[in-house]
């Protein structure tokens, strides 16, 4: 299963995964629309209050971090400055998932295997945004 996930990431990233088997290079898209890093929400909602019962929801909250971990890719969760919250796709007003509850909102930066420095640099740029 991990190899299938790695293969999917290898089809997306521009940088080659030098850790994978050279006998099975990924098919390259004709228009070469691959990317250097992937940026996505770190969680499906903001952190729940401590008084909220934990259960399956606590595990579902981490679902967006699992693919990069299973693939062994460098990933970094970065808080998004409040002025930039619209940039990460906030939902309609009044929805608890959009950060209106005052809790931080973050994005995850994922890079190809061996591109740790690039992931850190993109994270640093996001933290320094002044939208």
Q: What is the pLDDT of residues 24-66, one digit of tens each?
A: 455 655 567 889 999 999 988 887 777 777 777 777 888 898 9
Percent of residues, the chain, with pLDDT higher than 70: 78
In a domain, 16, yes or no: no
- Domain residues for the domain of 41 are 35-127
| pTM, full prediction | 0.77
Give the pLDDT band of residue 107 (cuts 50, 70, 90).
very high
Q: Which residues are within 8 A (CB) of 59 and not within 5 positions of it... i.e. 6 or more apart?
A: none
In a domain, 75, yes or no: yes
Q: Is the pLDDT of residue 105 over 80?
A: yes
Q: Report the mean per-residue pLDDT for the chain.
A: 80
In a domain, 47, yes or no: yes
User: Which residue has better confidence, 86 or 12?
Assistant: 12
User: Which residue has better confidence, 31 or 70?
Assistant: 70
In a domain, 28, yes or no: no
In a domain, 27, yes or no: no
In a domain, 10, yes or no: no
In a domain, 56, yes or no: yes
CA distance to 50, 60, 92, per residue, from 56 (Å): 15, 6, 25
Number of domains in the chain: 1
In a domain, 58, yes or no: yes
Strand-by-strand arrangement of the 75-79 sheet: 37-41, 106-111, 75-79
Q: Strand pairing of 37-41 and 75-79?
A: unpaired
Following CA atoms 109, 71, 63, 39 in sequence, which dihedral angle do they give, to the nearest 10 degrees?
A: 20
Please work out, in degrees rounded to the nearest 5, the angle formed at the alpha carbon of residue 108 by the alpha carbons of 104 and 112.
Answer: 165
């Amino acid at each position: 299963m991990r190899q299938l996930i790695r293969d999917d990431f290898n089809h997306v990233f521009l940088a080659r995964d030098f850790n994978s088997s050279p006998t099975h290079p990924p098919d390259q898209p004709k228009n070469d629309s691959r990317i250097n890093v992937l940026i996505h929400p770190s969680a499906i909602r903001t952190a729940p209050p401590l008084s909220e019962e934990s259960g399956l929801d606590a595990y579902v909250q981490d679902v967006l971090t699992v693919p990069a971990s299973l693939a062994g890719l460098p990933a970094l969760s970065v808080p998004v400055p409040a002025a930039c919250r619209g940039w990460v796709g906030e939902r309609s007003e009044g929805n608890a998932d959009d950060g209106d509850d005052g809790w931080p909102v973050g994005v995850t930066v994922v890079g190809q295997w061996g591109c740790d420095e690039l992931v850190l640099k993109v994270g640093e740029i996001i933290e320094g945004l002044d939208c």
